[in-house]
Amino acid sequence: MTYSLGAKSRAKLQGVDPRLVAVVERAIQITAVDFMVVEGVRPPERQKQLYAQGRTVPGKVVTWTLKSKHIEGKAVDLLPAPYDWKDPAKFALVNKAMMQAAGELGAGVRWGRDWDGDGIIGEKGETDGPHWELT
């Protein structure tokens, strides 16, 4: 089974660093699980809103920084299909494809659930399963 990026995913990659776009485009060719791009470039105002969530406005904390790499187009959020946020195994499959693609293309990419890239998921409490960024 091979997958391809849909129109919505391609639109979300607008403005993202071409090195990261190339990794995502290679990853969709080799992934064992389909995925979609749910967020690429994030305007600073949106980051501020997300940062406020769980701090000064109600909700669950979803980010720990005001300086997300999304702002500069150096991060993407990918969601495996079928879309179950609570299925970590599927995110790990997406990560496998992303790491293989990054290796092939010589791009430094890290995953939000394995920040130091040692293959041990969540060892430091990393919880950002849908997040990949250029290092």
Listed in sequence order, the residues at least 6 apart from 124 whose beta carbon sits closer than 8 Å to its beta carbon are: 115, 116
**Residue 82 CB, nearest distance to Zn ion (Å)?**
20
131 binds Zn ion (CB under 5 A): yes
Tokens representing residue 110 in the block = 């890290």
Task: Walk across the sheet containing 109-111 and list its strands.
Answer: 35-39, 75-80, 131-134, 109-111
- Give buried/exposed letters for 54-92 (b at 16+ CB in 10 A, else e): eeeeeeeeebeeeebbbbbbbbbbbbbeeeeeeeeebbb
Which segment (8-16, 23-31, 94-102, 126-134) binds Zn ion by CB under 5 A? 126-134
113 binds Zn ion (CB under 5 A): no
Name the nearest CA neighbour of 13 among 26, 32, 3: 26
Binding mask 35-74 for Zn ion (x = CB under 5 A): ----------------------------------------
Choice between 29 and 127, CB closer to Zn ion: 127
Per CB under 5 A, the list member of 26, 77, 80, 98 interacting with Zn ion is 77
- Which residue's CB atom is positioned nearest to Zn ion? 131
Q: Which stretch binds Zn ion (CB under 5 A): 6-14, 44-52, 92-100, 125-133?
A: 125-133
Site residues for Zn ion per CB under 5 A: 75, 77, 131
